[in-house]
Chain A
Amino acid sequence: MRYIIQFCRILLFCLLGELLHYFLPFPIPSSIYGMVLLLCALRSNLLKPEQVRDTALFLVGIFPFLFIPAAAGVMEVQDELFDMLLPVFLALFVVTALVMAISGYVTQYIMDRQRRTPHD
């Protein structure tokens, strides 16, 4: 029962996210609104972590599994993918690797520099 109630609390934040997505004009999906709201609720002590933690961590733990049905949908657009094979290949491998390397490297570089010149 504890898990069901925790799940209900999480669903409540899903619903709040959906409401914001419906009423606000920004191109931000309900999942992002919901995540930010849940974070705010935890930060402001409106919600204690124990009230959602077990179920939330279970859901986070099975994340890759949850993507299978959506990912299998790739089979539906095979033809379109093959029509633009070279750009798709470059975008998927080269661009993804580049974005990963640059964003990680920049973050690490700034963190190292801040560590070497402490303000406090």
Chain B
Amino acid sequence: MIKELVASSAVWGVLLTISAFSLGSWLHRRLKKAWCNPLLFGCIFVVSFLSIFDISYTEYKASASPVSYLLLPATISLAIPLYEKWELLKRHAAAIIIGIFSGVLTSLGSIWLLAVLLKLSRQQYATLLPKSVTTAIGMDVAAELGGIAALASALIILTGIIGGLIAERICKIAHIKNAVAKGVAIGTSSHAIGTAKAIEMGETEGAMSSLAIVVSGILTALLAPLFAALL
């Protein structure tokens, strides 16, 4: 019944997405636990719904496309928090750039180490290599180097979700107390999805995380081919 209803309805995809996210947010407020991330649980609810009623992801994706459409304008809007924190950014430009650079090298280097130790195929290596940068750059880089673009985009999204989940704990363990440094850490390791968490933590964290998406994305696009040649 639901399957037929879905096939004839135009609005269900957006409605399902909003319901799933609201349910996730409600759970987050009720349980007050970091792992109760509305995005993570929203996803789990959507996937469960589709599996239970045997609806294909392709159908859902088409019906929820108005939501995905807003991703591009939303990403571009990150320029606003960046603009508002411009002075802070300029004052600490050297520290921020070096911090992001060290993060990008760590990411590429440790994926290379992983590939050597676990004897990954070249395709698997190329798929994992750009996992910390924004989906649009990462998918292109993976495809360019001979990886699987769809799998790369899934890994990038999972990295973002996990980055958002562990952000507070990692900052505590590594004694990162400075708001600028927190933002750089989150944006460099877990791109736009992590940035959603950084925005929650504060304006400065959000702005620095947005900047880190841009810089780490460009650095990865430049450096990944060099690392790909190492295997």
Q: Find B154's partner among A36, A81, A98, A112 (CB 8 Å cutoff).
A: A81
Q: Which residues in chain A, 59-102, are within 8 Å of chain B measured between CB atoms? A: 59-77, 80-81, 84, 86-88, 90-102
Q: Find A69's partner among B17, B78, B131 (CB 8 Å cutoff).
A: B17
Residues of B close to A62: CB separation below 8 A: 70, 74
Q: Are A68 and B17 also in contact (CB < 8 A) when A27-B221, A100-B186, A111-B178 are?
A: yes
Q: B74 to A66, Cβ gap below 8 A?
A: yes
Q: Which residues in chain B, 39-91, are within 8 Å of chain A measured between CB atoms? A: 39, 42-43, 46-47, 50-51, 57, 60-61, 64-65, 67-68, 70-84, 86
Chain B contact residues, majority secondary structure: helix
Q: B214 to A106, Cβ gap below 8 A?
A: no
Q: In the complex, A62→B213 CA distance in Å?
A: 18
Q: A72 to B60, Cβ gap below 8 A?
A: yes
* Residue B33 interfacial (CB < 8 Å): no
Q: Which residues in chain A, 1-18, are within 8 Å of chain B measured between CB atoms? A: 7, 10-11, 13-14, 17
The total number of A-B Cβ pairs within 8 Å is 317
Q: In the complex, A42→B207 CA distance in Å?
A: 15
Q: Find A95's partner among B18, B50, B71, B111 (CB 8 Å cutoff).
A: B111
Listed in ascending order, the chain A residues whose CB lies under 8 Å from chain B are 7, 10-11, 13-14, 17, 26-32, 34-36, 38-39, 42-43, 49, 52-53, 55-57, 59-77, 80-81, 84, 86-88, 90-108, 110-112, 114
5 residue pairs A–B, Cβ–Cβ below 8 Å:
A67-B157, A102-B102, A103-B99, A103-B102, A103-B106
Listed in ascending order, the chain B residues whose CB lies under 8 Å from chain A are 13, 17-18, 20-21, 37-39, 42-43, 46-47, 50-51, 57, 60-61, 64-65, 67-68, 70-84, 86, 92, 94-96, 98-100, 102-103, 106-107, 110-111, 114-115, 118, 120, 124, 128, 131-132, 134-137, 140-141, 144, 148, 150-151, 153-155, 157-163, 166-167, 170-171, 173-178, 180-182, 184-186, 188-190, 192-193, 195-196, 199, 206, 210, 212-214, 217-218, 221
